[in-house]
């Protein structure tokens, strides 16, 4: 049976495609409400995940609910969205548990999410595994290291690593090495809370390229915490030890970035652009 996943996080869609489960996928930011009935025609269930909540796609969500297809609606952050959960037509608690699969991410969790929803909503008796916890951070891949070269960390969302959407990381790493540096790609689920292990990993770097949306924007103080996306652009550079000569916001908005800056890393903040 086919389930539809509508998520503003393209990494969710990539993981669903790679899961082997019968998911049909689309990004609501690229889907007009008028196209919803055709997309859900024949679907047994739809999962809607919206970064920013219902206000992100109100007409589209209304169109989803009007189809009569069972709906599981969750927010794009790690914490539950009460308004979306209340709009879900599945039994109470299903949306909460479904969100855990999406937060952990990756093809295996998306496969088990399909099985979980088959059992709990459609009562198929298929059987499922609970969400598999993924490491919240770590070094990605193995790159050559020259001890005399400076080390440049590339901080990017864990969801990209889990979904295999890492071409941009590889390209940036190659460019850093061609320019005379050592690249150290670092995946993170978030920079809002940082333990000693992540701090130590960041402090191995002489410079950081931070591509997660929560770390900055064209004005770091104005940037909001975001979900996962699959494009990035360098937006701000030249911040050292938390200095802010242009008055465009505190480089220490995120604890991990602040600690690395205090240690002496030069920061180049990047912003991931949704979609």
**Could you tell me which residues come within 8 angstroms of residue 230 by beta carbon, excluding any fewer than 6 positions away?**
10, 11, 14, 160, 165, 168, 272, 275
Let me know whether 73 and 157 are in one domain: no
Let me know whether 90 and 158 are in one domain: no
Let me know whether 142 and 115 are in one domain: no
Let me know whether 114 and 143 are in one domain: no
Let me know whether 21 and 103 are in one domain: yes
3-state SS class at 176:
helix
Let me know whether 74 and 141 are in one domain: no
Structural domain contains residue 253: yes
CA–CA distances in Å: residue 12 to residues 48, 82, 101, 108, 193: 11, 21, 10, 12, 23
Partnered with residue 149 across adjacent β-strands are: none
Structural domain contains residue 128: no
CATH number at residue 35: 3.40.50
Domain that holds residue 75: 3-120
What is the pLDDT at residue 274? 35
Structural domain contains residue 132: no
What is the pLDDT at residue 120? 96
Number of domains in the chain: 2
What is the pLDDT at residue 227? 35
Task: Order the strands of the 207-210 sheet from edge to edge.
Answer: 137-139, 182-188, 151-157, 207-210, 266-272, 232-240
> Please, are residues 3 and 46 in contact by the beta-carbon 8 Å criterion?
yes
Structural domain contains residue 84: yes
Let me know whether 81 and 157 are in one domain: no
d(CA 97, CA 256): 29
Let me know whether 180 and 268 are in one domain: yes
The DSSP string of 240-267 is ETT--TT-S--GGGSHHHHHHHHHT-EE
Q: Which long-range contacts (CB under 8 A, 24 or more apart) does 139-142 make?
A: 139/184, 139/185, 139/186, 139/201, 140/166, 140/169, 140/185, 140/186, 140/187, 141/166, 141/169, 141/170, 141/173, 141/185
What is the pLDDT at residue 194? 81
Let me know whether 178 and 141 are in one domain: yes
- pTM for this predicted structure: 0.73
Q: How many residues does the chain have?
A: 275
- pLDDT tens series, the chain, 275 aa: 899 999 998 989 999 999 999 999 999 999 999 999 999 999 999 999 999 999 999 999 999 999 999 999 999 888 899 999 999 999 879 999 999 999 999 999 999 999 999 999 999 998 999 999 999 999 999 999 999 999 999 999 888 998 888 999 999 999 999 999 999 999 998 887 788 899 999 999 998 888 886 443 333 333 333 333 332 333 223 323 333 333 333 444 455 555 555 544 445 544 443 33
Structural domain contains residue 130: no
Domain boundary among 120, 148, 183: 120
Output helix, strand, coil percentages for the chain, rounded to the nearest 5.
40, 20, 40
Let me know whether 144 and 81 are in one domain: no
d(CA 263, CA 13): 37
Structural domain contains residue 131: no
Helices 107-120 & 94-104 angle (0-180, nearest 10): 170
Let me know whether 42 and 163 are in one domain: no
What is the pLDDT at residue 181? 93
Let me know whether 35 and 107 are in one domain: yes
Structural domain contains residue 127: no
């Amino acid at each position: 049976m086919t389930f539809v996943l509508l998520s503003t996080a393209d990494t969710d869609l990539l993981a669903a495609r790679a899961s082997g489960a019968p998911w049909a996928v689309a990004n609501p930011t690229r889907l007009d409400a008028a196209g919803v009935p055709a997309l859900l025609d024949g679907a047994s269930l739809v999962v809607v995940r919206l970064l920013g909540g219902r206000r992100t796609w109100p007409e589209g969500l209304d169109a989803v609910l009007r189809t009569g297809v069972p709906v599981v609606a969750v927010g794009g952050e790690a914490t539950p969205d009460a308004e979306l959960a209340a709009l879900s037509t599945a039994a109470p608690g299903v949306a909460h548990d479904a969100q855990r699969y999406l937060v952990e991410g990756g093809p295996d969790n998306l496969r088990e999410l399909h099985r979980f929803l088959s059992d709990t909503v459609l009562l198929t008796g298929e059987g499922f595994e609970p969400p598999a916890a993924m490491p919240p951070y770590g070094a990605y891949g193995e790159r050559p290291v020259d001890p005399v070269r400076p080390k440049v960390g590339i901080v990017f969302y864990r969801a990209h690593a889990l979904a295999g959407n890492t071409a941009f990381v590889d390209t940036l790493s190659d460019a850093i090495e061609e320019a005379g540096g050592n690249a150290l790609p670092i995946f993170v689920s978030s920079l809002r809370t940082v333990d000693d292990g992540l701090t130590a990993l960041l402090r191995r770097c002489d410079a950081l390229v931070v591509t997660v949306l929560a770390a900055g924007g064209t004005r770091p103080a104005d940037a909001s915490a975001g979900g996962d996306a699959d494009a990035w652009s360098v937006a701000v550079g030249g911040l050292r030890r938390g200095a802010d000569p242009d008055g465009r916001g505190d480089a220490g908005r995120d604890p991990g970035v602040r600690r690395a800056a205090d240690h002496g890393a030069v920061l180049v903040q990047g912003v991931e652009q949704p979609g």
